[in-house]
Copies of this chain bind each other. A is one copy, B any other.
Amino acid sequence: MTVDVPALLARYQQQVDAHLASYLPESRQSPLYAAMRYSLFNGGKRVRPALCYATAELIHKPTEATHRAACAVEMIHAYSLIHDDLPAMDDDDLRRGIPTCHIVYGEATAILAGDGLQALAFEVLTALPPADQPTSNHIHLQLVQQLARAAGPLGMVGGQSLDLNAINRQLDLDELEAMHQAKTGALINASILMGALSTGKASAEDLADLERYSQAIGLAFQVKDDILDVESQTETLGKRQGADQARNKPTYTSLLGLQGAKEKLAELHQTSNNALVRFGDRGVYLRAIADFIVNRDH
């Protein structure tokens, strides 16, 4: 079975965008809401929601909780990009070819837009069913826990801090991997596990296999980013070419060379496929998404 990944991603994107729009309606007209919408609806590929939906399909089927999980991970992702782009952090003026949030709305509103998206992500996960629906409560609380850990000081925020402190410093491969596992891997992992948990039908064995898969594709995503950063043109990527290298940030290509990074990518791709073997045909979407991450050209 061949999966049309762009069509699959487009379907998931449509689903998650419809739900996201309901949480940030145009009727709210403040600069804060405008900045939050600007950053959330800027043509992102919705990779994390797609992983969430695809995993829910693998385990059983997407539920209302899956939609909420997909929205929440994308809100956390969008907030992290706003804060990463700030002058005090990576100081980026452009993202995906358009001005970053603080360029359009000012730094103060950009900081608050990020803060607000984080809070909203957790609110979205608290659909409170009646107290007599214990399963649903348990599922939603699991989702909050996964997301909070992934976003927090031992996850994404911790990884961003490691990244900042790595500028102009030599990291070895283990340190680079630990940084990326926290900075981007933790949220990718959460997207997948939250997709599984949202169905209420994932076994411990399922979760363990999915965690192996997610760790592999999380790193693969970053290795591929580093390769693209070296290879691609400013026009294609929408940010300055080689921007990370120019700031003396450690990358896979700087540590392993371009060829070595490509071998690492192939290895991670294989690991991700191996982790899905037990799921058989049900792993088709997650396999296709891994192929897509590895083969994308921007």
Residues of chain A having any CB pair with chain B under 8 Å: 28, 30-33, 36, 79, 83, 86, 88-89, 106-109, 111-112, 114-116, 118-120, 122-123, 125-126, 128, 131-132, 134-135, 137-138, 140-142, 144-145, 147-149, 151-153, 155, 157-158, 160-162, 164-165
Residues from chain B with a CB closer than 8 A to the CB of A162 are 30
| Distance between Cα atoms of A122 and B289 in the complex (Å) | 30
Most chain B CB atoms below 10 A, which of A89, A161, A164: A161
Whether B148 pairs with A122 at a CB distance below 8 angstroms is yes
Whether A122 pairs with B120 at a CB distance below 8 angstroms is no
Among B114, B137, B152, the residue within 8 A (CB) of A123 is: B152
Whether A123 pairs with B149 at a CB distance below 8 angstroms is yes
Residues from chain B with a CB closer than 8 A to the CB of A31 are 161, 165
Shortest CB distance A233–B (Å):
29
Whether B144 pairs with A36 at a CB distance below 8 angstroms is no
Residues from chain B with a CB closer than 8 A to the CB of A111 are 83, 86, 88-89, 111
Shortest CB distance A247–B (Å):
13
Residues from chain B with a CB closer than 8 A to the CB of A107 are 88
Whether A152 pairs with B116 at a CB distance below 8 angstroms is yes
Whether A120 pairs with B152 at a CB distance below 8 angstroms is yes
Whether A116 pairs with B153 at a CB distance below 8 angstroms is yes
Residues from chain B with a CB closer than 8 A to the CB of A28 are 153
| Distance between Cα atoms of A109 and B83 in the complex (Å) | 11
| Distance between Cα atoms of A262 and B132 in the complex (Å) | 48
Shortest CB distance A112–B (Å):
5
Residues from chain B with a CB closer than 8 A to the CB of A144 are 122, 125-126, 141, 144
| Distance between Cα atoms of A107 and B89 in the complex (Å) | 8
| Distance between Cα atoms of A152 and B28 in the complex (Å) | 14
Q: Which residue of B lies closest to A89 (CB)?
A: B108
Residues from chain B with a CB closer than 8 A to the CB of A134 are 131-132, 134, 137-138
Whether B88 pairs with A157 at a CB distance below 8 angstroms is no
A118-B118, A148-B122 known; A112-B160 Cβ under 8 A: yes
Extra 7 A-B pairs, beta carbons < 8 Å, given A32-B161, A115-B151, A116-B153? A115-B118, A116-B157, A118-B119, A119-B157, A120-B153, A126-B145, A128-B145
| Distance between Cα atoms of A147 and B118 in the complex (Å) | 12
| Distance between Cα atoms of A122 and B152 in the complex (Å) | 9
| 13 pairs, CB–CB < 8 Å, chain A vs chain B | A30-B161, A32-B157, A88-B111, A115-B151, A115-B157, A119-B157, A120-B153, A123-B148, A126-B145, A131-B138, A134-B138, A137-B137, A137-B141
